[in-house]
Structure 1
């Protein structure tokens, strides 16, 4: 089975995306590079673009690209309640015909009553995916493990976006996280990182010693892989194609 590869638009950098004319302008490049889909980032959509999501959905279909939709918010508020914007985000994802909506976890508290979340999710076809983020209080393994254990117990249609590098930002062992959470993973953000004077920063896979391969091998092989490390160079299509082909050929 062909490995499904998604290109996350912010891999090109927010300034470059705007310089090129927005996320819709990237679709021909991404399609020509051989990717299967695009992760559309809500934070890179202008208010005018948010009003024109049906046109973006048409452009995705025209280029035969599937969509993942990412919103820069958490599922749980600091008050441990559900994010009130969740239905709106799911509605936007539905307009884009996105298979998945990605949020971070936020301030989940064990023992939460999932009834409201079940009701909301039943109204939309898009699957909710919760990602490990870079926040020291919310993106940590014990909290994520508790949340996904509760997801299983409550038979919720919620999967995990496993960001391979974000564990560095919160000082946690990515391999240990993969061991605990792999069976919940439905989408992988492939990313590597290095530590510099200003802390951790994402880097391209070719700039690493290759340890990302060991981690990727511990994760499910039949879920989409998203390129979320920097894609830079004079020929962005060629750079994108290189990594699409690399990740498609990488098998455990």
Structure 2
């Protein structure tokens, strides 16, 4: 993998976040590590209006590409959350983000008017909509993601899938088999390894049981790939090691 395809999700700096360090400072560390793409986490903001503006300015200042992780539901009670989605896209625009990543939530049927509305949001500022498998039974299973994305695309929807390699283990599903199923829809990858298939917790790459190299061989090539797991108190030192495991 080329280094320019590697993304650092700010979850890697969880220890810093717990110390009160803001994401704009984490962006500086990304740059120091030679990584030019950062994925900002919405839940890490304390004052979202001020900090999204700060992130946008910092990204321009140090030439960093921004992606936006929003761990919120696209649908609640079977209704598209129009006002919330508009808010997330506004925040993304403020930061200059290339995408907004959400989870599907409680949907029943995709409506054509919802797709039209979301397409307008995406096209207005050239921001991509992605849905991801989280670690919950409601939103972490491959079949739900496939069904939703197929239905959405059939109505002309512009949407892609973030494939989180590790999260499927929490649903007792095979990341390798799911990669085969979801490969046609995947546009972005989250990478993590886990120590066990029965009671998983994240560990450093190659310290766990996931065949992540084989999975990357199945998924589309040249996609952006984010490291997304806490890297401890010495995150910067550890990340240098983790990044080097990916470069070839």
Given the two structures, how large is their TM-score scaled by the length of structure 2? Answer: 0.89
Deviation at 1:32, TM superposition (A): 1.1
Does 1:91 find its partner at 2:129? no
Deviation at 1:240, TM superposition (A): 1.6
* Counterpart in the other structure of 1:126: 127
Does 1:62 find its partner at 2:61? yes
CA distance, structure 2, for counterparts of residue 167 and residue 179 of structure 1 = 13
* Counterpart in the other structure of 1:52: 51
* Counterpart in the other structure of 2:154: 153
Does 1:28 find its partner at 2:15? no
* Counterpart in the other structure of 2:221: 221
CA distance, structure 2, for counterparts of residue 52 and residue 110 of structure 1 = 35
* Counterpart in the other structure of 2:177: 176
Cα distance change on mapping 1:202 and 1:32 into 2, 3 Å: same
Tell me if structure 2 keeps the 8 A contact 1:91–1:124: no
1:156 is paired with a residue of what secondary structure? Answer: coil
Deviation at 1:21, TM superposition (A): 1.9
Q: Which moved more, 1:162-171 or 1:118-127?
A: 118-127
CA distance, structure 1, for counterparts of residue 111 and residue 143 of structure 2 = 16
- Residue by residue over 1:84-128, the C-alpha shift from the partner in whole angstroms, topping out at 9 and shown as x without a partner, is 300000010011001111111112324543343334333332111
Deviation at 1:209, TM superposition (A): 5.1
Structure that is richer in helix per residue: 2
Pairing of 1:188-203 with structure 2 (within 5 A): 188-195=189-196, 199-203=199-203
Deviation at 1:196, TM superposition (A): 8.7
* Counterpart in the other structure of 1:208: 208
Does 1:75 find its partner at 2:81? no
Tell me if structure 1 keeps the 8 A contact 2:194–2:210: no
- Gaps (5+ residues) in structure 2? none
* Counterpart in the other structure of 1:42: 42
- Gaps (5+ residues) in structure 1? none
CA distance, structure 1, for counterparts of residue 109 and residue 176 of structure 2 = 24
Q: Which moved more, 1:143-152 or 1:187-196?
A: 187-196
Structure 1 vs Structure 2 CA RMSD:
2.1
CA distance, structure 1, for counterparts of residue 107 and residue 222 of structure 2 = 28
CA distance, structure 1, for counterparts of residue 20 and residue 46 of structure 2 = 14
Cα distance change on mapping 1:20 and 1:52 into 2, 3 Å: closer
Count of matched residue positions in the alignment of Structure 1 and Structure 2: 244
Tell me if structure 2 keeps the 8 A contact 1:34–1:244: no
1:67 is paired with a residue of what secondary structure? Answer: strand
Q: Which moved more, 1:91-100 or 1:62-71?
A: 62-71
Q: Which moved more, 1:128-137 or 1:110-119?
A: 110-119
- Residue by residue over 1:157-196, the C-alpha shift from the partner in whole angstroms, topping out at 9 and shown as x without a partner, is 2111100011011121212211111121111001111239
Does 1:239 find its partner at 2:238? yes
Tell me if structure 1 keeps the 8 A contact 2:196–2:208: no
